[in-house]
Structures are given as structure tokens and as C-alpha cells.
Amino acid sequence: MLVVMRHGAPAADVERVVAVIEEMGYGAHPMPGAQRTAVGIVGNDGRVDAGRIEALPSVVRIIHVTQPYKQVSREWRDEPTIVTIAPGVSFGGREVPIIAGPCSVESEAQIIRAAEIARDAGASALRGGAFKPRSSPYSFQGLGLEGLRMLVRAREETGMPIVTEAMDDEGARLVAEHADCIQIGARNMQNYSLLKTVGRLDRPVLLKRGMAATISDLLLSAEYILSEGNGNVILCERGVRTFDPAVRNMFDLTAIPLVHGLSHLPIVADPSHGTGLRDMVMPMARAAVAAGADGILVEMHPEPDRALSDGAQSLYPAQFVALMQELRGVASAIGRSLPAPRNN
């Protein structure tokens, strides 16, 4: 439930509403906004008896949030949330930043080279996993803390902010210390204790859709992070499992406008895991920007043929340069733009 208060309501009136909500045994979240001041009520399983609150000074209206997720819903907040992961790199506004890099950090030379290629082509952030969730325990598991240190070296060399995955609580703390944005992978989208942990950390979170998760599941997982106090969540569509082995996953383009209708959070698209095939990545990236994606997460490797993970879906550097050019055109066709290239 949301208590809407008159624009410019005095602080004392807002405090009074908060106090009454707390007296009733619920949690209160004051949200000063450009258009209105609102106080959200959480911790209620059913309908709250609004009578007492409606009568308080400066209260204009009570909105009953109909969705199971509250704080991530459009009913809760109408304006889009803009999530900034580093100076000049924001998701959810007019700009469409591109996050690019290899699936895994493999060596310092590899990740620095990838960062340079990404930066020179105009990407805004570097990706690369140090903690890798692999289907087989015998596959390359990532370099762990050493990999995070290599990412930091790449950021020092190129100025590129870092997005990298955390798989457990300890990893989340390490990633928060070293990186600019914590990625929660598809396999951990419903790891609720991990979601609570990153909800308490002071770092933006990129939350990927689970491979068998509904849109509602995705938004409820984001709700876990917001409910712990971290409102900086970027959602990510990365394809869902289906019956057709022709592609690794079925990339769900409709997730983008659906999420925009249901939530104020930004959503980016990952056409690399969404398709699993290098030649499908470019058309799906173009389509995602056309559909309104707030950013693209894409795998690109200096030498995809030597990649230790996801080589088949990693773009060659020249393909990435071409893709960036195409995405600039698609973005401008819908009144958006790619951020200006970083030069360090």
C-alpha cells in the first residue's frame, strides 16, 4: 500500500504518517519524489485498514498495490529508476550503455585487451566472470579473487567500470569491494539468501532472469533486494529454456516491454546467453535496443576460439565494432543514444 501525500507536505506530517504506520505494526518507507511525496507500507500480508491513515494531515490518497511485488512495481513508483554504476554510466534514462567483455576472466593480458577493445569501440562497462557458475564441476570455474584483481587492473588501465558475478555471500562481499556492479546470474536468481545479502550491500546489482523464471518471479526476486534497502537494481533478460535445441535459450524480447509496464526498474538484454550462437547475437542485440532495452550485456573475446567458456557465443572484436555501429543507428531511430565513448 502506498500513502500519497500532498506535494510539499511538511516533514512533521510525513513523520506522523510514518509513526502511525509503525504503530500499526508495519514498516514505513518515505519516498520524497519530484511530483509527490509518498510513504510505502510494507510487512502487511493482506489489506491494511486505511481509515486511520486517510484522516491524517497532508494525506491525499491511498493506493493499494495489486501486484505481489511492491517496491519494484510501477504502482509504487511511476517515474523510471535510473541506476548509475559509475560516473556517466546510467541505466534507465535516454542512454543505452553497452557492457561488453569475455564470459570469464582468463588472464590479466586477456582482460586488459578485452577492456581496451570494448572501450575503443564505445562500450561503457567491462564484463568478465571471476566466479563462474558452470554446469559441470570439471569445467573452468573462474580465477576467483585473482580474477577480481585482474578486473581491477583492467579498470586502472582503461577506466572501464566493472560488472562481475557473485555466487555466494563471501563472493558478494568481495565483488562489492572490487567491482562497480554485482551480477547475480540466472542460476542464482532465486537464491534468496544471496539476494538479501546483496540487498544490504552498497553496490548496484544486475539481476539476471532465471532460465525457467516467469517475469513475476524475476520481479519478486528484485523485490528481495529492494526490501533490504538496495534500490539500485538493473534487471536482465537472458533467455529461457525451451524445447528447441536449435538455440541455447529462447531470447524473450517481450520481457523488455512487459517489465517496463510492470516495473520502474531498468532492464538490459543479454543476447549472448539469450541465443548461445555468435551469429544470432547481433540481430537480437539490435532487436533488443529497438524493443526499448536500457542497455546490452554482450560477450566479446579478443580470441573467441581460445575462450575457456562460452567461446561459441562470444563476438570477435571486429564483429563487436560493427555491432556498436549498428546499435548507434537503432538507438537513434527510437530517440535514444549510446553514451559518448570513454577515453582514458
d(CA 195, CA 119): 30
Among 103, 118, 174, 235, binds Mn ion (CB under 5 A): 103
Q: Does 77 bind ligand PEP (CB under 6 A)?
A: no
Residue closest to 297 by CA, chosen among 160, 97, 130? 97
Residue from 40, 142, 185, 204 touching ligand PEP (CB under 6 A): that is 185
Residue 188: CB minimum distance to ligand PEP, A: 8
Window 51 to 90, contacts with Mn ion (CB under 5 A): none
Segment contacting ligand PEP by CB under 6 A, of 39-47, 52-60, 179-187, 328-336? 179-187
Q: Yes or no: say if 294 and 268 are a contact pair by the CB < 8 Å rule.
A: yes
Amino acid at position 96, single letter: V
Binding ligand PEP (rule: CB under 6 A), the pick from 155, 248, 273, 342 is 273
Q: Nearest approach, Cβ of 259 to ligand PEP (angstroms)?
A: 16
Distance of alpha carbon 248 from alpha carbon 307, whole angstroms: 18
- Should residue 155 be labelled a site residue for ligand PEP when binding is judged by CB under 6 A? no
The smaller minimum CB distance to Mn ion, of residues 103 and 151, is found at: 103
**129 near ligand PEP, judged by CB under 6 A:** yes
Q: Residue 18 corresponds to which amino acid?
A: V
Which long-range contacts (C-beta less than 8 Å, at least 24 apart) are formed by 199-203?
199/224, 199/225, 199/226, 199/227, 199/228, 199/229, 199/230, 200/228, 200/229, 200/230, 201/172, 201/173, 201/176, 201/230, 202/176, 202/230, 203/175, 203/176, 203/179, 203/230, 203/232
- Select the residue interacting with ligand PEP from 70, 119, 203, 238 (CB under 6 A): 238
Per CB under 5 A, contacts with Mn ion among 299-338 are: 310
Interaction site with ligand PEP (CB under 6 A): 103, 129, 133, 185-187, 208, 238, 273
